[in-house]
Amino acid sequence: MARTHGKDADFAFDSVAIEDELSSATLNFTVPEADITSFSDSWQNFLAGKPTATLDVSGFADLASSQGDVTIFGELGLEGEEWDFEPDGTTGYNGFAIVTSYSITSTVGGPITYSASFRHNGGSAAADGAAPTRA
Amino acid sequence: MARVHGQATNLSFNGVAIEDELNSVTMNATVAEADITAFGDAYQNFLAGKKNISFDVSGSLDMDFASDGDATIFDHISLISGPKTLVFDPDGAGPDTNSPEYTCTSSGLTGAICSNYTLSLDVGGVASYTASFQCSGATTRAVS
């Protein structure tokens, strides 16, 4: 019954490691539910559809060259790049994803922070429709 | 592994610097997702669509002069003069190699449109405002 601290998570997008900027990373898997409930069913009845995965990250902005800001902003609207998320820093998931949102916030009393969201769209290439790899 | 304080952020709208009024700026970039999932795909499949950038700002109301935030933003709401240039410099030191500056430049239909402006006056506190800007066309990231 191992429990694992999140302090050593690794996250990379477009081959740029940004765990040195992030303080939170979430990988979300969802599966659409197709309702097949018929009159004769006692309980609601469902079939699973095609899964999808999204990633939400947040942290502290690093505006320097080759870091998170230039990498994520530069991928807005493009076909998808590699992502790699290792929740414990060793084992995790990877694939290809497009950037779906990116927000930078400056407040006068704190660090510049950012959040970004990604949509998985490929296993071994962008838009190949394949599952993420768990490695 | 640079981390940057937000205390020196600069933002200007229509050439008027309003960082002397603001205490919060957020740049929002979103990309539409086009669903291209086919029967043969194992996972749902998407292509990225066109980019969209907007800004949300808030701060203390400055109504003194025509060159301050209130007059600048309100005039843009009430005048049909086209989108204006908006410049966001997160650390206030750009544009430089490690200090980008984001600009939505006014040109024809391109530029920032004020989409929301709210004044709040509280009997027990400072007069404040929030504003939102929708960028039409490109926003660029300059490092020189």
The label of the residue with tokens 């970039």 reads: B29
Q: Find the helix or strand (DSSP H, E) in which A133 lies.
A: strand A133-134
pLDDT of residue B65: 76
B 52-71 residues with CB < 8 A to A: none
Q: Find the helix or strand (DSSP H, E) in which B75 lies.
A: helix B69-78
Containing structural domain, residue B46: 10-142
Q: Which among A124, A20, A3, A105 is positioned nearest to A62, based on CA atoms?
A: A20
Residues from chain B that touch A20, judged by Cβ atoms under 8 A, are 1
Residue B137 lies in a domain: yes
Examine the pLDDT at A9 and tell me if it is beyond 90: yes
Instruction: Centre a 10 Å sphere on the Cβ of residue A108 and count the other Cβ atoms it contains.
Output: 15
pLDDT of residue B79: 67
Q: Which among A104, A89, A112, A76 is positioned nearest to A25, based on CA atoms?
A: A89
Q: How far apart are CA B13 and CA B111, in angstroms?
A: 10
Q: Do B41 and A76 touch (CB under 8 A)?
A: no
Smallest Cβ distance to A76: which of B31, B36, B38? B31
pLDDT of residue A21: 97
Residue B4 lies in a domain: no
pLDDT of residue B66: 77
Residues from chain B that touch A106, judged by Cβ atoms under 8 A, are 6, 9, 24-26, 90
Q: How far apart are CA B22 and CA B132, in angstroms?
A: 13
Q: What is the pLDDT of residues A35-88, one digit of tens each?
A: 999 999 999 999 999 999 999 999 999 999 999 999 999 999 999 999 999 999
Beta bridge pairs of residue A77: none
Q: How far apart are CA B62 and CA B21, in angstroms?
A: 7
pLDDT of residue A1: 73
Smallest Cβ distance to B45: which of A77, A108, A129? A129
pLDDT of residue B123: 94
pLDDT of residue B67: 82
Q: Give chain A's domains with CATH numbers.
A: 10-31+50-134 (2.40.30)
pLDDT of residue B72: 92
| Residue at A69: amino acid letter | D
Residue B5 lies in a domain: no
Q: How far apart are CA B129 and CA B61, in angstroms?
A: 6
Provide block-wise average pLDDT over 10 residues at a time, chain B (144 residues). Answer: 92 96 98 96 97 97 86 83 93 93 95 95 95 96 96
Examine the pLDDT at A130 and tell me if it is beyond 70: yes
pLDDT of residue A72: 98
- Asked if A55 and A19 touch (Cβ cutoff 8 Å), the reply is no
- List C-alpha distances in Å: A124 to A26, A84, A129, B21, B35: 21, 12, 9, 49, 18
Residue B2 lies in a domain: no
Q: How far apart are CA B56 and CA B58, in angstroms?
A: 7
- Asked if A126 and A96 touch (Cβ cutoff 8 Å), the reply is yes
The label of the residue with tokens 């740049």 reads: B27
CATH of the domain at B87: 2.30.110
Q: Is B69 helix (H, G, I), strand (E, B) or coil?
A: helix
Task: Check CB contact of B81 with chain A, cutoff 8 Å.
Answer: no
Give chain B's domain count. Answer: 1
Q: What is the pLDDT of residues A96-117, one digit of tens each?
A: 999 999 999 999 999 999 999 9
Q: Which among B74, B139, B75, B73 is positioned nearest to B110, based on CA atoms?
A: B139
ipTM: 0.85
Search chain B and give the residue with CA nearest A17.
B1
